[in-house]
Amino acid sequence: MKRSGEFEWISRYLSPLAGENSFQLKDDAALLPVPDGSELVVTQDAVLENIHFLSDDPVDTVAQKALRVNVSDIIAKGAKPFAYSMALGVPDSWEDHEMLRFCKGLEADQQQYGLSLTGGDTYRSPERLCVSITMFGTVTKGQYKSRMGARAGDLLVVSGTIGDGAIGLKVATGELLVKAGEAKNHLSAYRLPNPPLPLAKAIANHATASMDISDGLLGDCRKLCEASNVSARIERSQIPLSGAVEKQIKADENLWDAVLAGGDDYQCLCTVSPEQWQAFQIAALDDGISVSEIGKITGDGASKIYLTNNGVSLSQTVESFTHF
């Protein structure tokens, strides 16, 4: 096996990714500067081989996805991500070239999202690659958006398109067969979600509540409703779909389950008052992010999701992905 020692890996591959308050990863900890007038936001999500990603996913995209699922949480709170800490469980099968490629993925996304590494930990994880990222962001004082602020009458809004990740996973596992030329797009949607970085500002300024969609649109919407003690009406025909997903759904209506409840979207689910809706749309579009109204919040405190298709009630049993 061609593998350098643990400390060599840290100094060769990880130190170049460190930020200026991280002592080139030569210290036990790092300082996290918080500008005056800002608050620090923290979130942590881990990804494990064959649980959150597949063994044949390229390791650079695994690194990127590990960052992006966390970036997604920070953006949804109206905050700007700036740094992350990482505990990396390295499988026994890894050689130097895997570590190099993994770190190339980190580097690419550090540039794309404006991040630096604060530090963390590397350790042996014999069977499975495990990447546990803790992500830090800053938000203007008082503008953090929780799940708790949704009010009756608010519009229910999502960014981007929904279902690409879940349909992509079906293609990746072979459960859904598509034409050779179409597979690449689907796989890429699953492996490399695109959390809408520029939307953070519009969320901070105009949303009443916000979260990211990771476990499934319906289930995540229910969590937002429970936190805010409201219910929601969702009109399925208003859910924004990519051309690729629309095509698959036309061929098989059952794929709606994956779109509605599959998760892996990493788009934002926000509530916006009707008075702020226009300003929110303009702010989003100014930054190149599409946003769509998919329903409304109702005052009914039962935390229910009422799903319709062209106004006709639908029953939906599966709402989200759960680990156990």
Q: Does 90 bind a copy of itself (CB under 8 A)?
A: yes
Token output for 240 = 């924004």
Residue 171 has phi, psi (to 5 degrees) of: -70, -45
The pattern of x and - marking residues 213 through 232 that bind a copy of itself according to CB under 8 A reads ----------x--xx-----
Q: Does 59 bind a copy of itself (CB under 8 A)?
A: no
Q: Does 80 bind a copy of itself (CB under 8 A)?
A: no
Answer for the pair 128, 39: CB distance below 8 angstroms, yes or no.
no
Strands (E), 60-162: 80-90, 116-124, 130-140, 155-159
Distance between CA 306 and CA 231 in Å, rounded? 8
Segment 164 to 193, residues that bind a copy of itself, using CB under 8 A: none
Closest-CA residue to 86 (of 47, 128, 45, 120) = 120
Q: Does 317 bind a copy of itself (CB under 8 A)?
A: no
Q: Minimum distance between the CB of residue 36 and a copy of itself, rounded to whole angstroms?
A: 10
How would you classify the pairing of strands 80-90 and 116-124?
Answer: parallel
How would you classify the pairing of strands 207-213 and 291-298?
Answer: unpaired
Q: Does 73 bind a copy of itself (CB under 8 A)?
A: yes
**How far are the Cα atoms of 13, 113, 118, 218, 305 from residue 135, in angstroms, in the given order?**
20, 12, 10, 25, 31
User: Which of 63, 130, 204, 297 is the binder for a copy of itself (CB under 8 A)?
Assistant: 130
The pattern of x and - marking residues 6 through 35 that bind a copy of itself according to CB under 8 A reads xx---------------x--xxxxxxxxx-
Q: Does 93 bind a copy of itself (CB under 8 A)?
A: no
CB atoms closer than 10 angstroms to residue 322 = 9
User: Which of 67, 79, 217, 259 is the binder for a copy of itself (CB under 8 A)?
Assistant: 79
The residue ranges that bind a copy of itself (CB under 8 A) are 3, 5-7, 23, 26-34, 39-46, 48, 51-52, 73-74, 76-77, 79, 85-87, 89-90, 118-128, 130, 132, 134, 136-137, 144, 146-148, 211-212, 223, 226-227, 322-324
